[in-house]
Structure 1
């Protein structure tokens, strides 16, 4: 089966497509006879209008304006995409991660279209801190909704990472639930561990002290302050605890307790970075990420490859990533450090239960939270349309 893979980003460039480049794209390519990438859209005629609108909304009105969501740009992408698709020998079109700016929104093609997204634009508004409706200009909000609705109407199938995202599409746009499927993503860092390897890693973790890992690039949104509070209370309760922080740094104007170990950003695809990450993920007891807004953090799939349970919140698509007491635990957004500590302490007092949780976490990776399983499922869905 031959497909065209469409995005506003270049899936082959990490600078554009981010961490997806390392595992999602190579795994996706392995499932199909050929994959033609379409992403290089040019807008010489519409660019002056976009620049003028950016100045007007950002400089004069002090409002958030998204050029990539502007309908004039997305419609132009649709025209370009239509021409490019007409020249390709393909069976289907797969649109990847371009929320509210899918080039397929206004495309003209007779090939079946499937798009694969982590969330909807509608669900992001007033959910992510930088997507506040009060600071967003009307054009970005209205065009974002219109583009997404058109993309959903044109596609034969919409694949989302979670039930949360799927329900947003159904409730906001009135999309037929039969048109929607849910496929969880994988991570972008693999252990290549066997079950015996993971058992050895789990058994090597000490039962008399706790190692927590905070892994995120946004300290505030990912709940860094609460992670520190949890570590502090565990230490106060008599369980020696260390919190390693990767991806960001605690606020510079606040004292850093001795038990907090800021490690900065680790580029995990370099040999040195990989070695550091394997050590951290193998030796830690829990990933703690009390996020206040997320669609489906890929990190949950990454850490599960090491048998590392995740502690997070019941927001967005997180509850679809973490199955309570199977590969971690989700807590109410309002939960305080006491609730996290009680859960951790209970498992340390019954350490065999912790080991069983860690083993089932690895099982969840092997059966669901990896790109091999995800891309195979999407391939099957596409083949049913061709």
Structure 2
């Protein structure tokens, strides 16, 4: 089977779109060695430069002229490759207008309308921009044989919003972006309660709420709680007792990656009460280490974190006290807490990994090719 692969950003770098293109391509090539990447770096750079216009409420990537440029480049590449199927990863603006003769499987965290109506940063888009984006999304869906979405939230909205038949859509969770499966280590229970936050978008991922939860826990445990912040360097967290700000950790650097592993293996919970989160790869990473996640009932998070099974999910408007109550109730029951750690790890092994994603994509490819 010959596969053509197109992603929203280059798969040649782990830093592209949280590493999803890199790891999805690797998973695909494990099953289909004859996979050919269609990369468009020059066009991508030009579009990224023009994307500065988004501050004027214009979505450059969904402009029909941009999709025409991608159509020309990608069609030419496809004619050379002559694939049996095209696999697109969150590349709607690149694939929306390509020749429909190729079977296609499209995977993403969510579709255009879902994302634009959900994330606050897109609420300023004009009606014209929204119409253009939704039109291109529909054009892509007409060319797509299978749509693989990372969460039940995204899949349900896609079917309702774009009138997609149920048999065309699959819920296929993405995996943890780690190069090798970490050894499961029992969490240490003889020290302070250790929480970690992992994310660059401090505000959107609930950073201010994290600090409020930490203060609540700090007061109720006589200060016997630590908070480790990875990715962000929020000024509000600097100088706080038992709050350690690590900043960005480059997982491609062996020494830095060792630090990353040590932080997880010594932690007890991932705490990330996001305000908007279409998916959240970091919850999968926590599960890989066998650590429960604490998140918010929003977007795709409840697909990854199963409340009271592999972590804790609280209502969007839950107070810091409500978070602290549930955390301490679980933490004070070592047997239940350890069972949840093992359940999180098992969920990673069975569901939240790129190997399982690749298997689901293989099934979708076979269906697409046979039914196109």
Contact persistence 2:104–2:145 (CA under 8 A): yes
Which residue does 1:300 correspond to in 2?
A: 283
* Partner SS state of residue 106, structure 1: coil
Which residue does 1:321 correspond to in 2?
A: 304
| Deviating more after overlay: 318-327 vs 284-293 | 318-327
Contact persistence 1:191–1:306 (CA under 8 A): no
Contact persistence 1:8–1:39 (CA under 8 A): no
The answer as to 2:9 corresponding to 1:9 is yes
Deviations 1:269-310, CA, capped at 9 Å, x for gaps: 211111100100000000000100011110111111111110
Q: Pick from 367, 370, 374: which aligns with 2:350?
A: 367
| Deviating more after overlay: 254-263 vs 109-118 | 254-263
Which residue does 1:243 correspond to in 2?
A: 227
Matches of 1:84 and 1:255, distance apart in 2: 50
RMSD: 2.3
Matches of 1:149 and 1:331, distance apart in 2: 34
Matches of 1:313 and 1:382, distance apart in 2: 33
Matches of 1:260 and 1:217, distance apart in 2: 17
Which residue does 2:121 correspond to in 1?
A: 130
Which residue does 1:28 correspond to in 2?
A: 28
Aligned counterparts, 1:113-152, within 5 A? 113-132=104-123, 135-152=124-141
The answer as to 2:223 corresponding to 1:229 is no
Matches of 2:58 and 2:128, distance apart in 1: 8
| Deviating more after overlay: 218-227 vs 278-287 | 218-227
Call closer, same or farther: CA 1:324–1:81 in 2, change over 3 Å. same
Contact persistence 1:9–1:17 (CA under 8 A): yes
Q: Pick from 73, 77, 84: which aligns with 1:91?
A: 84
Gaps of 5+ in 2: none
The answer as to 2:324 corresponding to 1:335 is no
Deviations 1:97-140, CA, capped at 9 Å, x for gaps: 225x1x221111422111001111111224223111xx223443
Which residue does 2:61 correspond to in 1?
A: 68
- Displacement after TM superposition at 1:265 (Å): 0.8
| Deviating more after overlay: 204-213 vs 323-332 | 204-213
Which residue does 1:108 correspond to in 2?
A: 99
Deviations 1:193-252, CA, capped at 9 Å, x for gaps: 4xxx42xx22x5125520000111011111111111212211211261000000001235
Which residue does 1:79 correspond to in 2?
A: 72
TM score, norm. by length of structure 1:
0.88
Which residue does 1:269 correspond to in 2?
A: 252
Matches of 1:288 and 1:385, distance apart in 2: 39
Matches of 1:114 and 1:22, distance apart in 2: 17
Matches of 1:175 and 1:206, distance apart in 2: 48
Which residue does 2:175 correspond to in 1?
A: 186
Deviations 1:155-211, CA, capped at 9 Å, x for gaps: 111110011111221121111121111100001125524xxx42xx22x51255200
Matches of 2:113 and 2:72, distance apart in 1: 25
Matches of 2:13 and 2:338, distance apart in 1: 39
Matches of 2:130 and 2:244, distance apart in 1: 41
| Deviating more after overlay: 302-311 vs 103-112 | 103-112
TM score, norm. by length of structure 2:
0.92
Call closer, same or farther: CA 1:143–1:39 in 2, change over 3 Å. farther
Residues paired across the two proteins, number: 366
Matches of 1:3 and 1:324, distance apart in 2: 38
Call closer, same or farther: CA 1:274–1:35 in 2, change over 3 Å. same
Contact persistence 1:28–1:375 (CA under 8 A): yes
- Displacement after TM superposition at 1:84 (Å): 2.2
Call closer, same or farther: CA 1:104–1:22 in 2, change over 3 Å. closer
Matches of 1:213 and 1:293, distance apart in 2: 19
Deviations 1:51-93, CA, capped at 9 Å, x for gaps: 6xx79x66xxx62222221111113322332232122232111
